[in-house]
């Protein structure tokens, strides 16, 4: 189904019949991606006495599972500044709009003297094309399918430098999506420099008035290799969790 959308005084033609899902689904197996030193998520039927909530076992007319997972460590998730603040903020209350013009860029993180790999300010500046986009989707290379089930704990994955996060904030980006477990270093002594820069949080205990309550960061996405860099419309689908983060399903739509 094709539709015309007016966005910032420009008319775009979009094909809604061909969504590009860039989320990683939650699965009850070792194939699930894992970060932050967790075990795999658990999806199992409810057991009450001899009754098991699983149709295939013959005792139940319904499948009735309990799911135990962590949104930050077990798959694609969207978070608000409540992830780093002393005061509680919920992503369910922060994200009020769900459809944005987005730019997809592909970056090869650069090796540093300390053997870290980072996405630099210079890389982001080189790829940025101003089109009033409110979202940016960052795909890192190499980009093989192993990302969909990678075990990130203790591996010091690549991350985004704080200057690049500041640059994106100053360009008006409200929604930052990345295919890594965090925009910050795995072990950074709690500095969280990119998170703070993007959300404009100066003090996590006393929130400054210009902190960006409606801005979000989405981590652990996966953008298929065949999806070309450029502009898309992005739909962030969010589960209604009253929490700093929620599992999410970001979807791209091509502009035609």
Domains of the chain: 2-33+71-254 (3.50.30.50)
CA 157 to CA 188: how far, in whole Å?
12
Q: Which parts of the chain sit beneath pLDDT 70?
A: none
pTM greater than 0.85 (yes/no): yes
d(CA 118, CA 250): 24
The pLDDT of residue 59 is 85
Q: Name residue 68's beta-bridge partners.
A: 42
Q: Model confidence over 113-150: pLDDT tens digits? A: 999 999 999 999 999 999 999 999 999 999 999 999 99
The DSSP secondary-structure symbol of 158 reads -
Comparing C-alpha atoms, which of 17, 89, 6, 10 is closest to residue 251? 17
Residue 37 has a CB neighbour count (10 Å cut-off) of 10
Q: How far apart are CA 211 and CA 245, in angstroms?
A: 17
CA distance 246 to 218: 10
Q: What is the pLDDT of residue 7?
A: 87
pLDDT (0 to 100) of residue 162: 98
- pLDDT at position 98, please? 96
Quick: pLDDT tens for 216-229: 999 999 999 999 99
* pLDDT of amino acid 58: 83
């Amino acid at each position: 189904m094709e539709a015309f959308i007016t966005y910032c005084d420009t008319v775009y033609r979009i094909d809604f019949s061909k969504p590009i899902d860039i989320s990683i689904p939650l699965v009850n197996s070792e194939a699930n991606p894992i970060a932050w030193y967790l075990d795999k998520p658990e999806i199992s039927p409810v057991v009450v006495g001899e009754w098991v909530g699983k149709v295939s076992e013959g005792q139940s007319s319904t499948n009735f599972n309990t799911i135990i997972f962590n949104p930050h460590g077990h798959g694609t998730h969207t978070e608000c500044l409540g992830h780093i603040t002393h005061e509680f903020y919920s992503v369910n209350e922060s994200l009020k709009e769900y459809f944005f013009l987005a730019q997809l860029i592909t970056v090869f993180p650069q090796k540093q003297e300390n053997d870290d790999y980072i996405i630099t300010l210079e890389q982001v500046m080189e790829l940025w094309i101003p089109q009033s986009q409110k979202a940016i989707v960052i795909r890192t290379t190499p980009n093989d399918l192993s990302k969909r089930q990678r075990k990130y704990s203790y591996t010091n994955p690549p991350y985004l430098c704080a200057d690049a996060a500041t640059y994106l904030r100053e360009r008006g980006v409200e929604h930052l999506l990345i295919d890594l477990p965090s925009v910050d270093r795995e072990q950074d002594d709690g500095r969280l420099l990119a998170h703070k820069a993007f959300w404009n949080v100066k003090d996590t205990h006393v929130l400054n008035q210009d902190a960006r309550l409606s801005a979000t960061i989405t981590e652990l996405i996966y953008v298929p290799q065949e999806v070309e860099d450029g502009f898309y419309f992005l739909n962030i689908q969010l589960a209604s969790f009253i929490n700093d983060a929620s599992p999410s399903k970001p979807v791209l739509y091509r502009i035609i």
